[in-house]
Structure 1
Amino acid sequence: MPLIIDGYNLLYAAGVVSSLDGSGTFEQDRLALLELIRSVVDDEEIRQTVVVFDSAKAPPGLPRTVRYHDIVVHFASEYADADEMIEMLIERHATPRRLTVVSSDHRVQRAARRRKATAIDSGHWIDLMRRKRRAQNKAAQIPTKPIAPPSESEVSRWMREFSEIDIDQISRELKPLKRPTPPPTPPKPVDPEQAKSAGEEESEKPDVINPFPDEFEDDIRQLGSQLGGSIFPADYLDQIAREFWDDDDKPSR
């Protein structure tokens, strides 16, 4: 995401002010601020970062635009102040909706909002970026436990534990799975024509004619009673009578 930063505004918000107590210079503070920005902004965003400083405190003879590593640094020598140059940069930006403007100046924040850019206070922004960087550094310092092969003692312990398992006993104790009973096979449909033919064939079979008069029925029943009653069916007795008796041999009453 592109960044436009109000340089001196952020410098004071971040507390990089060695020039105020005489222990340093403005040039040292500017370099310290640029290094701070490099330490908290991601690599992809740092290549889209622009820092604007007022020209009143710019070193003499320095070009109005310089590049510090991947950061573009402007000195607003042709403008009334840094705020005016930042307004111009916001107005000319190709993708203002993706732009973030870091400044505590209300004039700059209003200019950013007019173009739908994101405006954020300098102190709030540097606090957020510092916390983000600390969290990233902390996550990077968490050691990852290497995956090492098992030691000889671990292998020996596993061998002892698994060697005590009786595989045959486990197999005997396991009950075989009961196979599901297949559903009954439905009867095959009967062809009406075949059923009709079968009925006709049954009707064509001749009826069994009893060759004996009714007077022998009592004798046959008596014989069946002597042989055990209902042990032999009547049809079987009729067959015996047909085979061994004829009209001349019929017993007389």
Structure 2
Amino acid sequence: MSLIIDGYNLLFAAGLVGSVDGEGSFEGERRALLDALLSVIDPKELPQTTVVFDSAKAPPGLPRTVNHQQITVRFATGYADADEMIEELIRDHHAPKRLTVVSSDHRVQRAARRRKAKAIDSDSWFRLMRQTRKRMRDQEAKKPPPPKQPSASVPNAQVNEWIKFFGEIDLDDLIPPDSPAPQTQQPQSVSPSPPSATDDRAEQPGEPKKSSGEGEGKQSPSRVFSEDYLKKIAEEFFGPSD
């Protein structure tokens, strides 16, 4: 829902004139009004909110359009007054049926109704918005806090099981074969060859055969993950161990 607000009209209707300092600084009062709007307008509607002020009381050198925390602030420079600029904004709005115009000025209200936009007096709108926001805050305060998720801990015994399981994996088992397994063929008869002359000695009858790796140092399978790494992974999944 888009909003176009007659700034000084709402400033007086909300009773913010003279509330900033004794001399009635219009710059301070404009800021007070914009801060008040931030407290009552839905944050999702702030980018669609435009506040129009008369340019006669605008500070010198200020741009025609400024942004105040997503609220568009426009000064009616080049227009007779803010009402004339608001009428033009209403006339050029692309979706007037989704537009609300906040002003107690009858001229502005007629311009809004001609385009099927909603028009509402400044004091009524501000009072309604304060009541709505207060009701929403009260409802939020009454909501029970979300339940806390219980933190799961991993027993030391389970961590040790992880370490034992992953630590015994051989790296060679994780490497895929370079080529597919050879097809099964019928065994061919091969005539036994005599012992090589380069052998240290021929096997004697009755002497048990030795495997090719017998007598050589046998290496234990490499660990894939260190013990500290596995403990860290377990704690990230299940929380600190007891």
**TM-score of the aligned structures, taking structure 2 as reference length:** 0.58
Q: Are positions 1:65 and 2:81 aligned together?
A: no
Residue of structure 1 in register with 2:50 after alignment: 50
Q: Which amino acid in 1 is paired with 2:14?
A: A
Match of 2:27 in 1: 27
Q: State the Cα deviation string for residues 7-38 of structure 1 (Å, max 9, x = none).
A: 00000000111279734410000000001111
Describe how 1:94-243 pairs up with structure 2 within 5 A.
94-144=94-144
Give CA deviations for 1:126-150 in whole Å, capped at 9, x if unaligned.
Answer: 00000001101111111516769xx
Q: CA 1:19 to 1:141, structure 2 compared with 1: closer, same or farther past 3 Å?
A: closer
Sort the Cα spacing of 1:40 and 1:60 in 2 relative to 1 into closer, same or farther, 3 A.
same
CA displacement 1:220-250 (0-9 Å, x = unmatched): xxxxxxxxxxxxxxxxxxxxxxxxxxxxxxx
> What is the one-letter code of the residue matched to 2:30?
R
Query: For the Cα contact (< 8 Å) 1:2–1:99, is it kept in 2?
Result: yes
For 2:8 and 2:94, the matched residues in 1 are separated by 25
| Alpha-carbon distance change, 99 to 144 in structure 1, aligned in 2, over 3 angstroms | same
Give distance in 1, aligned partners of 2:32 and 2:48.
19
Code of the aligned partner of 1:30: R
**In structure 2, what is the Cα distance between the partners aligned to 1:50 and 1:84?**
15
Per-residue CA deviations over 1:20-70 (Å, capped at 9, x if unaligned) read 973441000000000111110001111100000000100001011111110
Partners of 1:52 and 1:75 within 8 A in 2: yes
User: Any idea what SS the aligned residue of 2:50 has?
Assistant: strand
CA contact (8 A) 1:10 1:123 kept: yes
Classify the secondary structure of the residue corresponding to 2:116. Answer: coil
Higher RCO, Cα 8 Å, sep 6+: 2
User: What is the CA deviation profile of residues 200-239 of structure 1, one whole-angstrom value per residue up to 9, with x for unaligned ones?
Assistant: xxxxxxxxxxxxxxxxxxxxxxxxxxxxxxxxxxxxxxxx
Aligned partner of 1:41 in structure 2 is: 41
1:70 and 1:147 map into 2 onto residues whose CA distance is 34
> Could you tell me whether the CA contact under 8 Å between 2:20 and 2:29 is conserved in 1?
no
TM-score (norm 1): 0.56
Gapped runs of 5+ residues in structure 1? 149-253
Greater Rg, structure 1 or structure 2?
1
- Name the residue aligned to 1:17: 17
- Amino acid in structure 1 at the alignment position of 2:62: L
AA in 1 matched with 2:92: R
Structure 2: stretches of 5+ with no match in the other structure: 149-242
What is the CA deviation profile of residues 65-96 of structure 1, one whole-angstrom value per residue up to 9, with x for unaligned ones? 11111011110011000000000000000011
Paired-residue identity, %: 63
How many residues were matched structurally?
149
- SS of aligned partner of 1:94: coil
> In the superposition, relative to structure 1, how do residues 135 and 79 fare at CA in structure 2: closer, same or farther (>3 Å)?
same
**CA distance in 2: counterparts of 1:51 and 1:21, whole angstroms:** 22
Q: Which runs of 4+ in 1 moved over 2 A?
A: 19-24, 145-148
Which stretch shifts more, 22-31 or 98-107? 22-31
Letter in 2 for 1:54: D
Distance (Å, rounded) in 2 between the aligned partners of 1:54 and 1:5: 12
Instruction: Name the one with the larger helix percent.
Output: 1
What is the RMSD computed on CA atoms of the aligned residues?
A: 1.9
**Mapped contact 1:19–1:25 kept (Cα < 8 A):** no
Q: Any conservation in 1 of the 2:20–2:28 contact (CA below 8 Å)?
A: no
